[in-house]
Chain A
Amino acid sequence: MSILVVDNLSKQYSKNVHALKQLSFSLEQGESLGIVGESGSGKSTLAKILIGLETYQDGGITFQGSPIAPKKRAPLRAYRKNVQMIFQDAASALNPKLPIWKSLLEQLKNYKEFTPSFIDVEGLSDKDIARELLGLVGLDSSLADRYPGELSGGQKQRVSIARAISLEPSLLICDEPTASLDVTVQVQILTLLKKLQQQLNITILFISHDMRAVTFLCERIIVLKEGSMVDQFELGKLYEHERNPYTKALLNAASLD
């Protein structure tokens, strides 16, 4: 069953600015879907709409079989627990004045009725839970008492990944999570996402302009241009058909020759 169905979604910022034009796609449970396109293609608008930070004019979103209406609070609360997001700028995703362990637990505090299944929380203090979460993303538990300013960009991004998965979301939206990181760190973060996806059976929607990153993580890829889907393909079948010229241009931009 599809976990997420986006149907004819349209978003207009002003009279002449159409960020998304009748976009339709669906996402299967456990899948990793890549959305690739250049700046201004509507990638981030889509992410914002999906987590309810932005409204839309037309179309609809169905999550796990029920429609998501952006104005009703109660269903939205459950929806937001199940749909988590990682942003490009990990530095601004963490409160600079909170120690890491407090930031990590923010989500769990919001959903007190929930306990993650991958940690045996029995008898653990809050800080211990935070330490377990750090371990899950390959960070040393001693980082729990540090502040965001004392962490590297890659470490901060790992912390925000840990926070996002602490609620065991069914869907994880990643908006350019590696764009501002060094190449060596990029690979580490992508490898971590891949590992977590398999370990916890998370569905991933991965948004990026980097063909290299998208094809590393995702099995299926949608190419977005000026708010419309211009191409979509499964990774293994990339070269089976003549591709859209824009897809070719994106591949070309990433190629080494």
Chain B
Amino acid sequence: MSNSLLTVNNLTIESRSGELLLKGIDMEIEKGEMAALIGESGSGKSLTARAILGILPEEMTVEGQILYKGQDLVKLSRNEHYQLLGKEIGIIFQDYRGSFTPYIKIGKQLIETIRTHQSISKKAAKEAALLALAETGLDPKRVYHSYPFQLSGGQVQRAAISMTLALKPNILICDEVTTALDLMNGEKVLKYIDKARKETDCAVLMITHDLAQAYKWSDRIHVMYEGVIVEDGPTEQIRFHHQHPYTKKLCSSLLSLPEERQASTTEGVYSL
């Protein structure tokens, strides 16, 4: 496909003990697309992300292709791969506390990150940092001068997003970014990711086990189970016309809100 930004072909990952962790994954992510990768713990979602980022443990064997802008990421050396991180491929993790060093103020860390990737003056980097913080709805001055522990979880996660988005990556990988946040803060975080995607046309790979979130925000859903993508398609199709038994099980475990319950047949559980 002409529009494809990232293409994963037959990606297979084997652990040192010979266990197959990913069993031939195919996935295509288009420019500006919000793709969701859903599945339960241990299904291989994060492993896929790590393969794209090139941060898998050395003892794992990787086969297959990950094509990004005409180059195969699997074949790159570690150093070459690292060159792409941040600027081309951005990542936000679930553990927002780990995104910042605890004893350095957020502002200083933002400047450091920005200046690692762009050769601009400290002053310009500070301006860029404040702007990035404001973009995610934070009080830029306060957050800039705060240590991570002085902020709430939602605020730190949004600061981490500002840091990642300040580098304007082409593809953003979000690994369970809202799992540690409550729903209200999770919504805010997703809103800013979505806004940035629309403004900069960057693609987003959203890894989550939260079905409601995938339904609400993604254009396309890939369902993963035991190292295999068992089904993928446009969000509407997965939501209303899924085929695979596992997708069925997953989709039926979404609890319904009272207003949705009127349309459902099973007590309390969203059934389609």
Contacts and interface: CB of A to CB of B under 8 A. Distances in A.
A35 B181 CA distance: 17
B269 A211 contact: no
B184 A183 contact: no
B186 to A, nearest CB: 7
Contacts of B209: 182-183
Contacts, number: 75
A212 interface: yes
A249 interface: yes
A38 B181 CA distance: 9
Interface in B192-223: 209-212, 215-216
A235 B67 CA distance: 51
A239 B255 contact: no
A38 B183 contact: yes
Contacts of B150: none
A81 interface: no
Given A39-B153, A209-B183, A249-B184, A183 B253 contact: yes
B257 A255 contact: yes
A247 to B, nearest CB: 12
Interface stretch (A63-71, A99-107, A184-192): A184-192
B257 A187 contact: no
A256 B215 contact: yes
Contact of A38 (B41, B185, B216): B185
A254 interface: yes
Contact of A215 (B154, B211, B257, B269): B257
A113 interface: no
A211 B253 CA distance: 15
B128 interface: no
A231 interface: no
B212 A39 contact: no
A136 B153 CA distance: 37
A184 B67 CA distance: 33
B70 interface: no
Interface residues of A, number: 31
Contacts of A249: 184
Interface residues of B, number: 31
Contact of B184 (A38, A185, A213, A257): A38
Contact of B182 (A39, A153, A180): A39
B255 A216 contact: yes
Contacts of A75: none
A216 B260 CA distance: 12
A85 to B, nearest CB: 20
B15 interface: no
B184 A253 contact: yes
Residue from B152, B183, B260 whose CB has the most chain A CB atoms within 10 Å: B183
Given A39-B153, A39-B154, A256-B212, A187 B185 contact: no
Contacts of A40: 152
B253 A187 contact: yes
A213 B255 contact: yes
B141 to A, nearest CB: 20
Interface in A185-233: 185-187, 190, 209-213, 215-216
B268 interface: yes
A251 interface: yes
6 contacts: A38-B182, A183-B211, A183-B253, A212-B255, A250-B184, A253-B187
Q: Which 9 A-B pairs have the closest CB atoms?
A: A209-B182, A212-B255, A38-B184, A253-B183, A184-B253, A187-B253, A253-B187, A38-B182, A182-B40
Interface of B: 40-41, 152-154, 179, 181-187, 209-212, 215-216, 249-250, 253-260, 268-269
